[in-house]
Structure 1
Amino acid sequence: MQIEVNMRSDSTARGLPRAVLLDMDGTLANSEDWWYQAETEIMADLGATWSKEYVAQIVGSSLEYATSKTVADFGLPISPQELGRRLVSRVCEIGEASKVPWRPGAYELLSLTVDLGIPTALVTSSYERFARIVVKDAPPGSLTTIVAGDHGLPGKPDPAPYLRAAELAGADPSSSLVIEDSFFGVRSGMAARARVVHVPYMVDVPPAPGLVKIDSLESVDEAALRRFMDGERPQGDPYADGAPNLRAT
């Protein structure tokens, strides 16, 4: 029995990721819909019309970046800080009154990582208060680490969130797997030089060397985790010289 435990804990020796680092909104949970509801309500209160086409430009970015851009683009009569405060308060109200809407295959993937002895971390631009609404309903033993948007790190697309998550999980970024749905998140993971899998939700990210694209987490099993780690390793942010025009899905 002791031999079995040791074998299962040595994920790297079995060709598996040393850690799996996952985005939350749009990747693990349909919580982007909660954000969209909160944003639409608050923007309407401020006399502005919100749209998914605009969201495609900011999805996955830090709250500070998103609110600053929104206030400037719409000419809102409040500060970015006040807009952020209202958004976080409202989205937490929505989340606390709702059941976590797991993305297809997300809960099963987290359960698989627990069975395989692979640590998982939640790496989100959302604030920790909101992240814990999702984490409390995750499979026991999963998402034991949270790196959130209010932890004082540079936001995505900077590599800092994923570098910190790998460190807390006890893994080198190059032996870690990042799973993301957004352009900002994909850039962050690739800049950290982790293996990166893109699962489109609100935005389709253009192909890049080292980026794996899948349609759904439902297709991710133990063999798929090995294939992801066998692929080309990113050598940094492939989009650093210029962001492409992003298309809402």
Structure 2
Amino acid sequence: MTLPAAVLFDMDGTLIDSEPAWMAAEARLAAEFGIDWTAADAAALVGIDLWDGAAHFIARGVTMDADAIVERLVDEVIADLGDTLPARPGALELLRQLRDAGVPVALVTMSTRALVDRVEAAFAAALGSTPFDATVAGDECDEGKPHPEPYLRGAALLGVDAADAVAIEDSFTGVASALAAGITTIGVPHAVDVSRVPGVVHWPTLAGRTPADLAAAIREARA
């Protein structure tokens, strides 16, 4: 069995169940400015570059600049999560198996470095070891998801060919970014249903999944 050269994980909604915190923060911001905020509005921002999301709020009437909007949302999500690690089902177990197997792992997210560092520390405490070999934060990319830059940057940091890696995602923008980077992409639906996106290998959950399953996903995607 040939394992993937690397595995690149999205963070929000894939490794941690932080989407409710993001949605609550966005709903509070919309309410403060009298914006009618629907479930469709919330879903449209899942996985999006934070500054693109800020532009959406500005267009809807929020009288704050983009940096201030991003800072406010990130601060509220960090406060909401606190010291807890709401790991998605199977996330910790799969990370542990990948570390044991020596498979390089990267985190590729549109969240900012402040939140990435908080989550990385929480995973390290839970696993008893460093969870990621590289991390890519949204505020360190010139182009955010769905552009391929974040995933290409992650693969480059790990020193692997994107075509030999696997990405795991839960959002439309995320799977688009990973596919555009030429990475075998597994979609695990959470806040939105990515199961029918063409070219995506569908897994209902990470629970019970192993490195061998990741190798099988590459074979499935190439079939």
Q: How does 1:36-185 map to 2 (within 5 A)?
A: 36-72=23-59, 74-95=60-81, 97-138=82-123, 139=127, 140-185=129-174
Q: Which moved more, 1:184-193 or 1:58-67?
A: 58-67
TM norm structure 2: 0.92
- The answer for the alignment partner of 2:2 in structure 1 is 15
1:26 CA drift (Å): 0.2
1:64 maps to amino acid: W
Which ranges of 4 or more aligned residues in structure 1 deviate by more than 6 Å?
none
% identity of equivalent residues = 38
CA distance in 2 between counterparts of 1:111 and 1:206 reads 25
Q: State which of 184, 187, 210 in structure 1 corresponds to 2:176.
A: 187
1:49 CA drift (Å): 4.2
What's the C-alpha RMSD, in Å, of the aligned pairs?
1.7
Do the aligned residues in 1 keep the contact of 2:14 with 2:168 (CA within 8 Å)?
Answer: yes
SS of corresponding position for 1:136: helix
Do the aligned residues in 2 keep the contact of 1:210 with 1:231 (CA within 8 Å)?
Answer: no
The verdict on how the C-alpha distance between 1:80 and 1:230 changes in structure 2, with shifts beyond 3 A counting, is same
CA distance in 2 between counterparts of 1:69 and 1:37 reads 16
Do the aligned residues in 2 keep the contact of 1:22 with 1:121 (CA within 8 Å)?
Answer: yes
Structure 1 gap ranges (5+): 1-13, 235-249
Larger radius of gyration: 1
Asked if residue 227 in structure 1 is aligned to residue 213 in structure 2, the reply is no
Count of residue correspondences: 219
1:230 maps to amino acid: R
CA distance in 1 between counterparts of 2:194 and 2:55 reads 23
Do the aligned residues in 2 keep the contact of 1:104 with 1:216 (CA within 8 Å)?
Answer: yes
Do the aligned residues in 1 keep the contact of 2:4 with 2:166 (CA within 8 Å)?
Answer: yes
